[in-house]
Amino acid sequence: MANDKIWLSSPHMGGNELKYIHDAFDENWIAPLGPNVTGFESDIKKYLGGNVEVAALSSGTAALHLALIMLGVSNGDEVICQSMTFAASANPIKYMGATPIFVDSESETLNICPDQLEIAIEDRIKKGKKPKVIIAVHLYGMPYQVDRINTIADKYNIPVIEDAAEALGSTYRGENCGTFGELAILSFNGNKIITTSGGGALVTKTEKMKQKAVFLATQARDDAPHYQHSEIGYNYRLSNISAGIGRGQMEVLDERVSARREMFEFYVNLFRDVEGVRLFSEPSTDYFSNHWLSVLTIDSEITGFSREDLRESLAALNIECRPLWKPMHMQPVFEDSPFYGTGVAETMFDHGLCLPSGSNLSDNDRSRISNAIKSHLKKDQ
Ligand SMILES: Cc1ncc(COP(=O)(O)O)c(C=O)c1O
């Protein structure tokens, strides 16, 4: 139908997901453990190059929460976090009773700015507290400046949690996103490049760390025949049914990355001759983005129309676009948290738009998007 909604990013099944779910039913593994969970973990491990361990969890947010616990964050600590991100990157800092210290973006990748990061660390140390952890995010699939961030983290000896929720399939200098942090997290939420309907993973460097994550995610049961607990635990493991969806999705991950990258090229061509519109492409060959979402910014003084004008034109035709993540330092819930920056994230938020980017968009969807954008551009000439 011509007016069916075109979504920003919707689930795209590969076909084999149901087979793995049937296996779970046939074997009665209807639980937060079982062969699909183990298989999904080893599929991800293999995809990431084999040098990491993976714990499948109920969400990316749960993975971040466990990561903070495992890095020893506690009440009163300070944790640095990229300001421009989804709230889930920062909320777990509050679960720990810690204070988020937000840092601005740089305009090349939209991710945490190395200069502002170092200014923030120096200033927090001067004020009496060295930040306990840095949370860096590969926004919309674009890798952050991994080398510069790691150099700063090493210099001050602060571990990095790599939030790769949006970046499975992206690489930096040929290495997979999800392998750079002391710990990394992935998300398989319904809008991500692959999904388990809801789910996530914690990526660790050692088997011991993985076992610690699994222990915490299964109510921290001590090794005893009865129920014995010496630590507070959580119910954060992924179900064997959801993991079955994940196994099917891993089979098509590379196809999904190619399709999303093609969507990005589609927009590059569409806006090629439009002055004042910038599409966020890789800054150099060091970067390979899965282009989970295609992102642009609009300089309304040049184009004569704003981000909202374009978004509303497309919404009227049932085509979903979204402003970029509203930075955390601008959010009422975090108004008391310190921020270090120069206004980059604010400007990006004011002018940036995420475009429909799903791997399941049809030729018909693309021609609707193309016609809608072209007629908007004509209107403003
Ligand atoms: C950058 C970022 N971090 C963390 C999350 C949290 O993942 P989940 O929704 O699986 O809890 C998401 C997505 O939802 C995200 O986009």
Q: How would you class 107 by CB atoms within 10 Å of its CB: exposed for 0-12, middle for 13-18, buried for 19 or more?
A: middle
Q: Both tokens of residue 85?
A: 């991100």
Residue 305 is predicted with a pLDDT of 96
Please state, in angstroms and rounded to a whole number, the distance separating the CA atoms of residues 73 and 134.
11
Give me ligand 1 centre to Cα 224, in Å.
Answer: 35
How many CA atoms, within 13 angstroms, populate the side-chain half-sphere of residue 360? 15
Contact 122, 101 (CB under 8 A): no
Q: Is residue 140 in contact with ligand 1, taking CB distance under 6 Å?
A: no
pLDDT at 1 over 60: no
CA of 91 to the centre of ligand 1 (A): 11
**CA pair distance 151, 198, nearest whole angstrom:** 34
Q: What span, in angstroms and rounded, lies between the C-alpha atoms of 261 and 173? A: 18
Q: How far is CA 63 from the centre of its chain?
A: 12
196-218 CB burial, b ≥16 within 10 A, e <16 = bebbbbbbbeeeebbebbbbbbe
Q: Tell whether the model's pLDDT for residue 381 goes beyond 80.
A: no
**58 within ligand 1 shell (Cβ under 6 A):** no
**Average pLDDT score, the chain:** 97
How large a percentage of the chain has pLDDT more than 90?
98
Q: Tell me the two tokens of residue 73.
A: 């964050």
Q: Is residue 89 lining ligand 1, measured as CB closer than 6 Å?
A: yes
Task: In whole angstroms, give the CA distance from residue 25 to residue 286.
Answer: 44
CA of 48 to the centre of ligand 1 (A): 19
Nearest ligand 1 atom to alpha carbon 137? 1
Q: Is the CB of 57 under 6 A from ligand 1?
A: no
CA of 89 to the centre of ligand 1 (A): 7
Query: Is the CB of residue 163 below 6 angstroms from any atom belonging to ligand 1?
Result: yes
pLDDT at 53 over 80: yes
Q: Is 165 in the pocket of ligand 1 (CB under 6 A)?
A: yes
Burial of 188 by CB count in 10 Å (0-12 exposed, 13-18 middle, 19+ buried)? buried
For atom 7 of ligand 1, which residue has the closest CA? 60
Rounded distance from Cα 81 to ligand 1 centre (Å): 14
Task: Give the atom of ligand 1 at the shortest distance from the alpha carbon of 61.
Answer: 11
190-241 per-position pLDDT tens digit: 999 999 999 999 999 999 999 999 999 999 999 999 999 999 999 999 999 9
Ligand 1 contact via 60 beta carbon (within 6 Å): yes
Q: For 255-266, how does the pLDDT look when each residue is reduced to its tens digit (9 = 90+)?
A: 999 999 999 999
Is the minimum distance from the CB of 88 to ligand 1 under 6 angstroms?
yes
For residue 190, give every residue at least 6 positions away whose Cβ sits within 8 Å of its Cβ, in sequence order, or none: 10, 11, 197, 198
Q: For residue 267, is pLDDT > 60? A: yes
> What's the CA gap between 376 and 196, in Å, rounded?
36
Query: What's residue 379's pLDDT?
Result: 80
Residue 283: CB atoms within 10 Å: 14
pLDDT per position as a tens digit, 277-290: 999 999 999 999 99
Cβ pair 17, 245 in contact under 8 A: yes
pLDDT band at 380 (very low <50, low <70, confident <90, very high): low
Q: List CB contacts of 283: < 8 A, sequence separation 6 or more.
A: 108, 109
Torsion angle of the four alpha carbons 77, 82, 87, 89, in this order, in degrees rounded to the nearest 10: -70
196 lines ligand 1 (CB under 6 A): no
pLDDT of residue 2: 55
Give the C-alpha separation, 22 to 19, whole Å: 5
Q: 61 in ligand 1 pocket by Cβ < 6 Å?
A: yes
Average pLDDT over residues 329-336: 98
Cα separation, 283 vs 144, whole angstroms:
11
Q: If pLDDT is split at 50, 70 and 90, which confidence band does 3 have?
A: confident
Could you read off the pLDDT of 161-184 as tens digits, one per residue? 999 999 999 999 999 999 999 999
Q: 283 φ, ψ to 5°?
A: -65, -25
Question: Probe ligand 1: pick from 68, 84, 85, 86, max atoms within 8 Å of CB?
Answer: 86
Each residue's pLDDT tens digit, 234-258: 999 999 999 999 999 999 999 999 9
Q: What is the 3-state secondary structure (H, E, C) of 323-339?
A: ECCCCHHHCHHHCCCCE
For residue 62, the ligand 1 atom closest to its alpha carbon is 11
Nearest atom in ligand 1 to 59's CA: 10
For the residues of 4-31, what is the DSSP string, one character each? SPBPSS-----S-HHHHHHHHHHHT--S
Instruction: Provide the CA 45 distance to its chain's centre, in angstroms.
Output: 18
